[in-house]
């Protein structure tokens, strides 16, 4: 996905917290669907605090 879109493009992805020996971190698969979002979409998402909620189409 990073090669298909210009630098600065914002993506909404489904990610999991993965615990490893070093430290927990976010994991997402290149095979999972993603959504391109605008700056306004990003701000609305952050303000709504909707993380952890999955849409059926993602």
Residue extents of the structural domains in the chain: 11-56
- Cα 55 off chain centre by: 12
- Indicate if the pLDDT at residue 14 is higher than 90: no
pLDDT at 58: 47
Per-residue model confidence as pLDDT tens digits over 16-55: 889 888 888 989 998 999 999 999 999 998 898 876 666 5
pTM: 0.61
pLDDT at 22: 86
- Indicate if the pLDDT at residue 7 is higher than 90: yes
pLDDT at 1: 80
Long-range contacts for 18-27 (Cβ within 8 Å, ≥24 apart)? none
């Amino acid at each position: 996905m990073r090669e298909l879109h210009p630098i600065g493009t914002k993506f909404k992805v489904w990610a999991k917290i993965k615990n490893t020996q070093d430290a927990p971190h976010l994991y997402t698969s290149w095979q999972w669907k993603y959504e391109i979002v605008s700056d306004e979409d990003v701000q609305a998402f952050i303000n709504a605090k909707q993380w952890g909620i999955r849409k059926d189409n993602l």
